[in-house]
Chains A and B, each alone.
Chain A
């Protein structure tokens, strides 16, 4: 947990240290450099003044060739501890007088004075040698050389380096202190915020809040904004959850209602199935008994009435069965799977041909049609549509029936059954799908009118729709999607 904190603080500390060290080093280097240069210049000046004094004091000694006097002039240099060697030579270049702080008999490298100048100097590793012309009334008498060692300069450099180092160390400590303060005031809250943000993304717990710093800076602003954001997310979350619960509750409620309605429908169907048909059996059975047992007593029209009674009872029996089947289709649980629609249609056609072998009907069924549907229910759909096509082409000399499908630009697969039969008035195209709705007379085409109602229920329970196109005498097309 403390790792990111240390990382941020460490980075800040490192940057602080580096920046201050670099700045200080640069400043020290510049200062030392400048000091060295100005100190050297000062040394040259000082040496030059000494050389001038010696030069003017040794004019008479040179004029009068008094080497002893010149030597005593030089020996005054003993007061300056940095001067280690001095010498005067004549215009001819002969050594005239010498001074050595310590006897070494060493002659340093002597600079030449360029023409037109009175003076010149040369630095070597440990010392500086200055040469000064000795002149009297415009006439050159000789040259004085003064050598000074540079140990003072080195000493000074050492001292400066020490000071710079001390300052550097002090500033490092200061930088560390500043970093620590920074970590306390800026890094800690930010790191805390980062940890919180990570917790929130991991645990999806939007109820937590960052602790305010109590100050009035950008970090406080950040924490405020973060908390505000959490607050909003939490609110939205809560609203969403509530909406979700509400929705779930409603779905449960509806499901319960639906289950209840389904149960009622089921028990209704059940009692219809058991109780409604019994009286019909009595009507039919006893009418038949009358016809058989009282044949002689009943005249022709009486028998006709009895037959009508029987026909109606039987028809009602069929209607009840149809209605029950329709209700069953509505209740059936749907189990979708991949169904070979082509094979299904072909097997239905085989049944149709077997039932009425004499008919001249040409079936065209598209190959390789597959559907995602409940196989039992899809069979009922195709059975009804193909049966209708078969039935309503029965008055044609040559019937033609087609079952195919098409898919229009990415939409759902649309299946169709087309025939060249009696057709119907398109004005009533919607009514066909109601229970017991028929557009043809019973005497023309038999049927109860439950087929298409069943088809529509099955198709809509699959999430699809069914519709029809036709004109009287022009055949009909029934389309459906699943």
Chain B
């Protein structure tokens, strides 16, 4: 069985590079699929567009979701996921710059499992990614695939 996949939804290449670096620093070796906007993320999850040939039964272990995204933003991705039979139980961690109250309320309201604010200090970011990996990739038991 292959290592479970992490889906990183992130439009900023710098943030993408830093997140990958933080994962590497924490020895998290799972494959990371990067979607650069909301549309791409949904295509990956639903096996559409450029991911048409993908086996959608292979589901990511966790989805790291930015909020400000081109085309469809993070909330719309979340809403579409939660509305779909196959993706409604996937763990979603919102990983974003803001700590605006309404973002947190919206995020949790739409069924996010966790909300993490990306800190400016890179050391803190590594620490946050470590916690995240420990919990979502090792400790957490996902819901059964076909309930």
Chain A contact residues, CB within 8 Å of chain B = 269-270, 273-275, 277-282, 284-286, 288-289, 310, 313-314, 316-317, 328
Contact = CB atoms under 8 A, between A and B. Distances in A.
B14 A274 contact: no
A268 to B, nearest CB: 12
B140 interface: no
B67 A284 contact: no
A270 B106 CA distance: 14
Given A273-B97, A274-B98, A275-B97, A317 B68 contact: no
B71 interface: no
Closest 8 CB pairs of A and B: A317-B120, A273-B98, A282-B14, A285-B18, A288-B122, A285-B122, A277-B97, A280-B120
B27 to A, nearest CB: 15
Nearest to A315: B120
Given A270-B98, A274-B67, A275-B97, A284 B14 contact: no
Contact of A284 (B68, B97, B99, B120): B120
Given A270-B98, A289-B21, A275 B68 contact: yes
A278 B121 contact: no
A379 B104 CA distance: 22
Contacts of A313: 120
B118 A281 contact: yes
Contacts, number: 60
Would you call the interface of chain B mostly helix, strand, loop, or mixed? Answer: loop
8 contacts: A273-B97, A274-B98, A281-B125, A282-B18, A288-B122, A314-B120, A317-B119, A328-B101
Contacts of A288: 122-123
Contacts of A280: 120
Contact of B14 (A269, A278, A316, A317): A278
Interface in B1-48: 12, 14-15, 18, 21
B98 A278 contact: no
Interface in B67-104: 67-68, 96-101
Interface residues of B, number: 20
Nearest to B101: A328
Given A273-B97, A277-B97, A284 B15 contact: no
Nearest to B96: A274
A21 B119 CA distance: 109
A280 B14 CA distance: 11
Contacts of B120: 277, 280-281, 284, 313-314, 316-317
A274 B97 contact: yes
Nearest to A277: B97
Most chain B CB within a 10 A radius of its CB, from A269, A275, A278, A317: A278
Contacts of B119: 281, 317
A216 B14 CA distance: 98
Contact of A281 (B18, B98, B101): B18
B100 A281 contact: no
A317 B118 CA distance: 11
Contacts of B68: 274-275
Contacts of A286: 14, 18
A220 to B, nearest CB: 72
A317 B120 CA distance: 6
A266 B124 CA distance: 28
Contacts of A281: 14-15, 18, 97, 118-120, 122, 125
Contacts of A282: 14-15, 18
A278 B12 contact: yes
Interface in B119-142: 119-123, 125
Contacts of B21: 285, 289
A313 B125 CA distance: 14
Contacts of A317: 119-121
A424 B94 CA distance: 45
A328 B67 CA distance: 20
A181 to B, nearest CB: 83
B47 to A, nearest CB: 30
A284 B122 CA distance: 6
A313 B121 CA distance: 8
A318 to B, nearest CB: 8
A130 to B, nearest CB: 130
A285 B14 contact: yes
Given A285-B125, A289-B122, 18 more contacts: A269-B100, A270-B100, A273-B100, A274-B68, A277-B97, A277-B118, A278-B12, A278-B97, A279-B14, A281-B97, A281-B122, A282-B14, A282-B15, A284-B120, A284-B122, A285-B21, A316-B120, A328-B101
